[in-house]
Amino acid sequence: MSDDGADLAGECQRTIRLLEMQRRTHYDLVQENGQRRLTAPEVARGERQRGKGAEIFLGRLPRDCYEDELMPLLEQMGRLLELRLMLDFSGSTRGYAFALFEDPRIARRACERLDGYEIRPGHRIGVVKSMDNCRLFFGGVPKTKTKSEFIEELTKILDGITDVYVYPNAHDRNLNRGFIFVEFKDHRAAAMARRKLIPGKVMLWDHEIAVDWADPEPGDPIDEDIMETVTALFLRNLALDMAQQKVKEILYKHTNVPILKLKKINHFAFIHYENREAAKTVMDIMQKSDSIVEKQGWEIRWAKPIGASKILERARYIREAVANSKVEKTEKLRSKERKKRSSKTPTKTHEDNVYLAQMKTLQNFVKERFDATCTFDCIQILDASGYIGRIIVHKDEFIMCEFQGEPMASKHKAMSEASIKVYQYLTSMLPNNVPQLFEQHYIVSGMDIDPVIGTPNVWHPGLVQN
Task: Give one DSSP letter per residue of 149-169, joined into a string.
Answer: HHHHHHTTT-S-EEEEEEEE-
Q: Which CATH number fits domain 353-429: 3.40.190.10, 3.30.160.20, 3.40.50.300, 3.40.50.720?
A: 3.30.160.20
What pLDDT was estimated at residue 450?
35
Closest CA to 376 of 427, 415, 422: 415
Contact (Cβ atoms closer than 8 angstroms) between residue 274 and residue 249: no
What pLDDT was estimated at residue 460?
42
C-alpha 460/C-alpha 97 separation (Å) is 12
C-alpha 382/C-alpha 295 separation (Å) is 30
Residues of the chain with CATH 3.30.70.330: 12-129, 135-213, 226-302
Tell whether the torsion through CA atoms of 47, 51, 54 and 60 is positive or negative. Answer: positive
Q: Residue ranges of the alpha helices (H) in 122-199?
A: 147-154, 187-197
> b/e for 302-336, b at 16 or more Cβ within 10 A?
bbbeebebeeebeeeeeeeeeeeeeeeeebeeeee
What pLDDT was estimated at residue 128?
85
Write out the CATH class of domain 12-129: alpha beta
What pLDDT was estimated at residue 448?
34
Left (φ > 0), alpha (ψ -120 to 50) or beta: where does 251 sit? alpha
Say how many C-beta atoms besides its own lie within 10 A of residue 256's C-beta. Answer: 10
Closest CA to 84 of 24, 26, 130, 140: 130
- Strand-pairing partners, residue 394, are 373, 399
What pLDDT was estimated at residue 216?
54
What pLDDT was estimated at residue 201?
64
C-alpha 95/C-alpha 352 separation (Å) is 44
Contact (Cβ atoms closer than 8 angstroms) between residue 274 and residue 258: yes
Residue 384 half-sphere exposure toward CB, CA atoms < 13 A: 0
CATH topology of domain 135-213: Alpha-Beta Plaits (3.30.70)
What pLDDT was estimated at residue 281?
92
CATH topology of domain 226-302: Alpha-Beta Plaits (3.30.70)
Closest CA to 102 of 78, 66, 85: 78
Closest CA to 131 of 39, 236, 213: 213
What pLDDT was estimated at residue 442?
28
Digitized pLDDT (tens) for each residue of the chain, 466 residues in all: 445 555 555 566 777 777 777 777 778 888 776 788 888 888 888 777 776 778 888 888 888 888 888 888 998 998 888 888 888 777 778 888 889 898 888 888 898 889 889 989 989 988 888 766 788 888 888 888 888 899 988 888 888 898 888 877 767 778 888 888 898 887 778 888 888 887 556 788 877 888 888 765 544 455 566 677 888 898 887 877 788 899 899 998 988 899 988 888 877 889 999 898 999 999 888 888 788 887 877 888 888 765 544 555 555 555 666 666 666 666 667 776 766 665 554 445 555 667 788 888 888 888 888 888 888 888 877 655 678 888 988 876 667 777 888 888 888 888 888 888 888 878 776 644 333 333 322 223 333 333 333 333 333 444 444 3
What pLDDT was estimated at residue 219?
44
